[in-house]
């Protein structure tokens, strides 16, 4: 297997990718144009954010690229894949697709889950339109993905299909040390409804590995997507992800993001609310320790009337970890009667932890509601003292404070998503492997989360004497 460092990438490597996949001419030219843009752009294109970015922590000389990897699964991930073998799933390992499972009944109804290369061969015009819809000039790493993607997947939920069970997406970096540049597309046709759970893992490595993703979620009118992403890469790895969500009339997307792993996580999400009645709901949880760095951006672009957007981010930071949250509410002319909310909050459990938040507003029309807020605070020592008086040590007290800090945003999540987040936080706090497993710990958490808000609902609806 021939590899090269990201720092030495040239048009020859891009040509080799195209030749190995027998790509059409338009895609070859698209790759070459994007590569030149990647080589020209700085790591952060915005002067406002440039001084805050940690993107340079990725060392291009250490990141190895290959046209194809060995596709092996690292040992600690195998139990998780065994649990998912009968679920709807697609497994990506390195540059290859390790496995796809679609029940025959859903195949007959038109559900498609395939590699991006199969999608290009089978529906080239559609894929070309989606690939070219994102501008490589917006971001250096978007341009890199356009130029050098060596893997990817395509998921299409056909018109009016409602999936009762989630589609599981498991992506793992290869044990051979090579990096993955993945181009992923999710298409929800009119009236469809589906949930997707994305899990990102990597083996322990001696040098940097990168998982770089460019994902487009295209929601046609009256469709509904509920997406959950858990990033649990080893801290020798880096993760770069850019998401474009095109939400048409009366469509709705809900995205829950949990960031727990990697040395550097850089996530960009743009919600284009381009149909009347479109809505987006984004909830992000960050838990960092050691010297981890999290660079998050979320933008709500209201293009049509009566659209709604909400982004809520919560970061918990220990040791010397740091986070940067930035976002923009942009309400364009003609998008009257729209509502938008953007919030980023961080709690610092150690004095060396650091967090910055830079929310913004740009409103170009009247008759709208828009709010943004940000806060960063050290853990309250009075709360620690109070809990210490109840015979809790400092670590136990911090755990309870963190649970209370995250609780308000968890109400919008399903009990299963709350359980997975709680499980990964507990695993990281106790130093266990960051891999979701249906063990006793998870079963105990699920049991609690399943009834957690049912009791509250009963109290809220109980008759009140006056």
Per-residue pLDDT tens digits for 269-301:
999 999 999 999 999 999 999 999 999 999 999
- Region 132-136: what's the mean pLDDT? 91
If asked whether residues 429 and 294 sit together in one domain, one would say no
- Region 96-114: what's the mean pLDDT? 96
pLDDT score for 1: 64
- Region 379-407: what's the mean pLDDT? 90
If asked whether residues 376 and 414 sit together in one domain, one would say no
If asked whether residues 441 and 343 sit together in one domain, one would say no
pLDDT score for 308: 98
If asked whether residues 310 and 431 sit together in one domain, one would say no
Burial bucket for residue 58 (CB in 10 Å: 0-12, 13-18, 19+): buried
If asked whether residues 309 and 161 sit together in one domain, one would say yes
Range with the lowest mean pLDDT among 17-21, 65-69, 210-214?
65-69
Do 330 and 365 meet the contact criterion of CB atoms below 8 Å apart?
no
Range with the lowest mean pLDDT among 55-59, 224-228, 324-328, 345-349?
55-59
Statement: residue 459 has pLDDT above 50: no
pLDDT score for 464: 42
How many whole angstroms separate alpha carbon 53 and alpha carbon 306? 34
pLDDT score for 462: 46
If asked whether residues 353 and 444 sit together in one domain, one would say no
Highest mean pLDDT among 69-73, 92-96, 252-256: 252-256
Range with the lowest mean pLDDT among 16-25, 142-151, 217-226, 407-416?
407-416
Kindly indicate the confidence band of residue 454, based on its pLDDT and cuts at 50, 70 and 90: low
If asked whether residues 326 and 458 sit together in one domain, one would say no
If asked whether residues 382 and 436 sit together in one domain, one would say no
pLDDT score for 51: 78
Last residue of a domain, one of 347, 380, 400: 400
* Greatest C-alpha distance within the chain: 78
If asked whether residues 114 and 163 sit together in one domain, one would say yes
Statement: residue 461 has pLDDT above 60: no
pLDDT score for 207: 86
pLDDT score for 466: 38
How many whole angstroms separate alpha carbon 349 and alpha carbon 352? 9
- Region 236-255: what's the mean pLDDT? 97
Total tally of structural domains belonging to the chain: 2
pLDDT score for 35: 96
Signed CA dihedral, 171, 228, 270, 294: sign only: negative
Statement: residue 448 has pLDDT above 90: no
If asked whether residues 227 and 288 sit together in one domain, one would say yes
- Region 159-178: what's the mean pLDDT? 95
Phi, psi of 60 (to 5 degrees): -60, -25
pLDDT score for 158: 98
Last residue of a domain, one of 400, 421, 446: 400
If asked whether residues 273 and 388 sit together in one domain, one would say yes
Statement: residue 55 has pLDDT above 90: no
Q: What is the pLDDT of residues 356-377, one digit of tens each?
A: 999 999 999 999 999 999 999 9
If asked whether residues 414 and 393 sit together in one domain, one would say no
Last residue of a domain, one of 373, 400, 427: 400
In degrees, rounded to 5, the angle at the alpha carbon of residue 184 between the alpha carbons of residues 179 and 190 is 170
What is the pTM (predicted TM-score) of this model?
Answer: 0.94
Statement: residue 465 has pLDDT above 60: no
Backbone torsion region of residue 160, taken as left when φ is above 0, otherwise alpha when ψ lies between -120 and 50, otherwise beta: left
Q: What is the pLDDT of residues 321-358, one digit of tens each?
A: 999 999 999 999 999 999 999 999 999 999 999 999 99
Task: Quote the domain boundaries for residue 234.
Answer: 3-400
DSSP-derived 3-state class of residue 22:
coil
Burial bucket for residue 336 (CB in 10 Å: 0-12, 13-18, 19+): middle
Statement: residue 48 has pLDDT above 90: no
Torsion of the alpha carbons at 310, 301, 35 and 325, rounded to the nearest 10:
-40
Location of structure tokens 């800090």: 405
- Region 43-65: what's the mean pLDDT? 85
Between 49 and 87, whose confidence is greater?
A: 87
How many whole angstroms separate alpha carbon 441 and alpha carbon 400? 17
């Amino acid at each position: 297997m021939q590899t090269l460092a990201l720092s030495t990438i040239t048009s020859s490597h891009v040509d080799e990718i195209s030749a190995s996949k027998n790509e059409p001419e338009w895609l070859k030219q698209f790759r070459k144009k994007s590569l030149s843009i990647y080589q020209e752009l700085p790591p952060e294109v915005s002067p406002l954010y440039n001084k805050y970015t940690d993107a340079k922590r990725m060392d291009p000389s250490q990141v190895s690229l290959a046209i194809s990897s060995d596709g092996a699964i690292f040992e600690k991930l195998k139990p998780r894949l065994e649990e998912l073998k009968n679920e709807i799933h697609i497994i990506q390992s390195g540059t290859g697709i390790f496995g796809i499972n679609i029940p025959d009944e859903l195949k007959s109804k038109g559900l498609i889950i395939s590699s991006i290369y199969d999608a290009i061969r089978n529906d080239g015009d559609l894929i070309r339109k989606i690939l070219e819809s994102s501008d490589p000039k917006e971001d250096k790493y978007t341009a890199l993905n356009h130029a050098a993607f060596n893997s990817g997947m395509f998921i299409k939920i056909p018109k009016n299909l409602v999936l009762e069970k989630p589609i599981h997406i498991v992506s793992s970096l290869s044990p051979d040390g090579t990096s993955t540049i993945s181009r992923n597309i999710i298409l929800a046709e009119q009236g469809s409804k589906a949930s997707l759970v994305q899990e990102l893992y990597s083996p322990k490595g001696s040098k940097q590995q990168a998982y770089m993703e460019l994902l487009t979620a295209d929601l046609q009118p009256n469709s509904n997507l509920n997406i959950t992403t858990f990033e649990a890469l080893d801290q020798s790895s880096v993760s770069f992800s850019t998401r474009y969500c095109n939400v048409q009339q009366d469509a709705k997307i809900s995205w829950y993001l949990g960031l727990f792993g990697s040395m550097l996580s850089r996530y960009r999400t743009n919600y284009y609310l381009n149909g009347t009645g479109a809505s987006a709901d984004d909830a992000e949880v960050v838990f960092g320790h050691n010297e981890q760095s999290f660079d998050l951006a979320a933008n709500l672009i209201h293009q049509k009337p009566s659209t709604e957007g909400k982004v809520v981010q919560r970061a918990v930071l220990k040791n010397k970890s740091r986070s940067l949250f930035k976002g923009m509410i942009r309400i364009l002319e003609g998008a009257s009667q729209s509502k938008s909310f953007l919030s980023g909050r961080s709690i610092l459990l150690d004095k060396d932890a650091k967090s910055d938040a830079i929310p913004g507003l740009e409103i170009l029309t009247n008759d709208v509601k828009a709010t943004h807020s940000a806060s960063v605070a050290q853990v309250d020592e009075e709360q620690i003292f109070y809990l210490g008086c109840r015979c809790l040590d400092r670590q136990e007290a911090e755990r309870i404070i963190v649970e209370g800090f995250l609780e308000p945003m968890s109400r919008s999540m399903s009990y299963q998503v709350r359980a997975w987040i709680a499980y990964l936080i507990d695993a990281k706090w106790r130093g266990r492997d960051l891999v979701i497993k249906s063990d006793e710990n998870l079963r105990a958490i699920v049991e609690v989360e399943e009834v957690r808000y049912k009791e509250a609902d009963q109290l809220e609806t109980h008759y009140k004497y006056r």
